[in-house]
């Protein structure tokens, strides 16, 4: 896919990263148009990457980061929304992000991110606990090296494989207190939200949710 044209200084056009990738699902062409319009509105530069397999597509991006020696890259799903003042928000995030970061989650859906310790002098950030979702995450060159080296294609979902590297102390992860990238709900999810309430929804932790997703054939 073509790279959208560069607008102004690259550090601004790419939100402070060396590159931005957008994973595009070919079965949803309207998402491509919506995201392209949004990036043009915000004057951001990105490369669209067609995907049919989330695991393999993300791994190919991590390998591409290594091949091009990008110091860092932001990876977005084509379904995300972002704040209109995303440039200023990300500028503050970069000012507070430690230099030794491996992964950074400006968008996440973990249930416990706000409960984590804040690095000294970095009020906007948290040491990531289990951000889980990969709809908006950044990877440093060192982080990409670690993922490509230690994660092998398997039936394990990519989110769980990456979290296991974090548990082994191989990835330094940080997340924002409040996500600035959010996934847009699908039409099916919107229909479910509109259904009359029946039994009360079972509240479970993010870790349990992820484990059920892995073991239940992606039923969530």
Residue 4, domain member (yes or no) = no
CATH of the domain at 131: 3.90.550
Read off the pTM: 0.77
pLDDT score for 155: 62
CA distances from 31 to 3, 26, 75, 174 (A): 16, 9, 16, 28
Residue 136, domain member (yes or no) = yes
Phi, psi of 79 (to 5 degrees): -100, 0
What is the distance between the alpha carbons of residues 114 and 179, in angstroms, rounded to a whole number? 10
Residue 63, domain member (yes or no) = yes
Tally of CB atoms within 10 A around 182: 17
pLDDT score for 4: 54
Residue 205, domain member (yes or no) = no
Residue 214, domain member (yes or no) = no
- Beta bridge mates, 182: 81
pLDDT score for 60: 94
Residue 2, domain member (yes or no) = no
Q: Which domain holds residue 174?
A: 10-185
How many domains are there within the chain? 1
- Taking only the tens of pLDDT, the chain with its 220 residues reads 445 555 555 556 889 999 999 999 888 888 888 998 889 888 898 999 998 888 999 999 999 999 999 999 999 999 999 888 898 888 888 988 888 999 999 887 765 545 555 544 444 677 877 767 889 999 999 999 999 999 987 767 888 899 889 989 999 999 887 788 988 765 544 444 444 443 333 333 343 434 443 444 333 2
pLDDT score for 12: 63
Residue 139, domain member (yes or no) = yes
pLDDT score for 176: 83
Residue 83, domain member (yes or no) = yes
What is the distance between the alpha carbons of residues 13 and 42, in angstroms, rounded to a whole number? 9
């Amino acid at each position: 896919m073509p790279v959208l044209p560069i607008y102004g200084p690259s550090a601004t056009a790419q939100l402070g990263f060396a590159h931005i990738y957008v994973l595009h699902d070919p079965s949803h062409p309207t998402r491509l148009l919506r995201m392209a319009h949004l990036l043009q509105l915000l004057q951001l530069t990105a490369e669209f990457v067609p995907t049919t397999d989330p695991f393999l597509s993300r791994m190919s991006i991590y390998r591409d980061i290594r091949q091009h020696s990008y110091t860092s890259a932001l990876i977005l799903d084509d379904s995300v929304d972002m704040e209109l003042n995303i440039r200023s928000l990300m500028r503050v995030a970069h000012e507070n992000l430690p230099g030794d970061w491996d992964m950074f989650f400006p968008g996440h859906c973990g249930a416990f991110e706000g409960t984590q310790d804040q690095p000294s002098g970095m009020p906007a950030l948290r040491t990531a606990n289990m951000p889980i979702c990969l709809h908006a995450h950044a990877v440093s060159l060192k982080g990409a090296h670690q993922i490509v080296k230690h994660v092998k294609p398997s039936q394990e979902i990519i989110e769980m494989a990456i979290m296991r590297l974090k548990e082994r102390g191989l990835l330094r992860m940080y997340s924002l207190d409040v996500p600035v990238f959010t996934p847009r709900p699908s039409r099916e999810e919107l229909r479910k939200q509109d259904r009359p309430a029946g039994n009360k929804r079972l509240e479970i932790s993010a870790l349990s949710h992820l484990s059920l997703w892995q073991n239940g054939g992606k039923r969530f």
